[in-house]
Structure 1
Amino acid sequence: MPLAASDHALIFDMDGVLIDNTRYQARAFQLLFRELGLTTKALPLLRRLNGMPATNILQTVLRNPVPKKELKQYADRREFLYRVLYWDKRRELEGLTKFLAAARAAGFKLALGTGSGAETIDYIVDHLGLRHHFDVIVGKDDVDRGKPHADTFAVAARQLGIPPERCVVFEDAILGEQAAYKGGMRCIAVSTTLPARQFQAPLAVIKDFTDLTPALVLTLLEAHPKAPKPSRELAQRQYMQL
């Protein structure tokens, strides 16, 4: 019996998936690093750790332990810089709205699962008029542990009422892909941030949503009925190459 879209859910990361914004995120981090006297290169850092909350990313590069309050101040400063840089650049990835509408019409449940907080989600999702497409929105304030843990996607699946094995996650980052596999879900990779060869085992790698259809997603699910096991080595490598 063919798979039914109504039995499945699509869970979308935000940064690098709904929008192509990694270089602006990296520029904001770079400006903050300069203020803090750090020499870390932000773009390679984000290509490894994208998807994690900003406070977690900052913890990997600060030389000495920093109190949580101060760490949040740094993250807020980075967020302010990012919003200024990206203000006039906010555009959805090509074909996104058309695909979301088609997926909903086909019967898929749709969720947004991101490491961003509510204000940042508003800054993107509401500005682009995307909120009504999603049945559920899960951000960093809704989970105890962000990516690479599976909590974000697991909470989204639970709120949708769809078991993990029937969920497909759209991710642009290795740690996000690993989070999907840890949660027992399959993944479609979006190559805004990384080349296709760097992902572990996605159902497909897309550059945007122009050629993706709900029928194709179901075909991919039928061809790959089980989620891959997460690669501890691959995830660890992302941390170690700082």
Structure 2
Amino acid sequence: MTPTLIFDMDGVLVDNTPAQARAFQLLFRDLGLTTNARKLLQRLNGMPATNILKTVFQKPVPEKQLQEYSSQREFLYRTLYWSQRRAMPGLVPFLEAARAAGFAIGLGTSSPPETIAYILDHLDLRRHFDVVVGKDDVARGKPHGDTFSVVAAKLKAAPETCIVFEDAVLGEQAAYKAGMRCVAVASSLPAKAFQAPLTVINDFTELAPQRLLELLAEQPTAPKPDKQRAQRNYMQLT
């Protein structure tokens, strides 16, 4: 069985979480909010930005307003991260080795198309992926499993053959909800933050694609999602 590899984008292909947090913090400052963006993302990273923003207001905010705030945050993020864009160490050799070994490779992210292009096309990474699925391709974003399930369906891959690469707790939960196993990328969280990954890596210099076959044998089935963990992290938002 040759595994299918599904990658999250932010915090996995690129180490951009500090810039994301800084953009949120600047937005909060403009809105007069005192929320700590870094701590917020430790809990909610992986969700669409509008869903993250819902949690920082005491009263409901119209969806149109949330979209405007999200666009403002996106502009701040792109400005901050513009000259810092670079692939995670070891990523390209890992993807090339996985392709040579016959692995199917997909991308599943909560980002919209323009944000995906901002990373994939600038860094010439799109060529490594057979399928790219973003926010606009699914009805429900992470922590629901839809993003990864859609990638698998497009690749005609059974969930039990899929390995998801995630840097966020809610992304890991989304993988388990989709019936898949997960490799955790500890770019912004410690290893102990994750539930039951196949392994935890800091970057892709620490893993060879063939090692994944051994890890799958060690964990024959996907873990059950930890409902308490997910609810604690995303405050029961849907």
TM-score normalised by length of structure 2: 0.98
**Cross-structure match for 2:181:** 186
TM-superposed CA distance for 1:63, in Å, is 1.9
Matches within 5 A, 1:4-153: 4-5=1-2, 8-153=3-148
Provide the identity percentage. Answer: 66
Q: Which secondary structure state, in structure 1, belongs to the residue aligned with residue 206 of structure 2?
A: coil
Q: 2:224 aligns with which of 189, 211, 229?
A: 229
Distance 2:218 2:58 in 1: 46
Q: Which secondary structure state, in structure 2, belongs to the residue aligned with residue 184 of structure 1?
A: coil
Distance 2:142 2:10 in 1: 13
TM-superposed CA distance for 1:125, in Å, is 0.5
TM-superposed CA distance for 1:239, in Å, is 3.0
Q: Which runs of 5+ in 2 are unaligned?
A: none
Distance 1:211 1:37 in 2: 42
Q: Which secondary structure state, in structure 1, belongs to the residue aligned with residue 165 of structure 2?
A: strand
Distance 2:144 2:158 in 1: 17
Q: Which secondary structure state, in structure 1, belongs to the residue aligned with residue 6 of structure 2?
A: strand
Distance 1:63 1:90 in 2: 35
TM-superposed CA distance for 1:50, in Å, is 0.5
Distance 2:234 2:136 in 1: 23
Q: Which secondary structure state, in structure 1, belongs to the residue aligned with residue 5 of structure 2?
A: strand
TM-score normalised by length of structure 1: 0.96
TM-superposed CA distance for 1:214, in Å, is 1.4
Distance 1:155 1:215 in 2: 25
TM-superposed CA distance for 1:211, in Å, is 2.4
Distance 2:201 2:65 in 1: 38
TM-superposed CA distance for 1:235, in Å, is 0.8
Q: Which runs of 5+ in 1 are unaligned?
A: none
Distance 1:64 1:23 in 2: 28
Distance 1:239 1:181 in 2: 16
Distance 1:75 1:194 in 2: 23
**Cross-structure match for 1:155:** 150
AA at the equivalent of 2:192: R
| Superposition RMSD in Å | 1.0
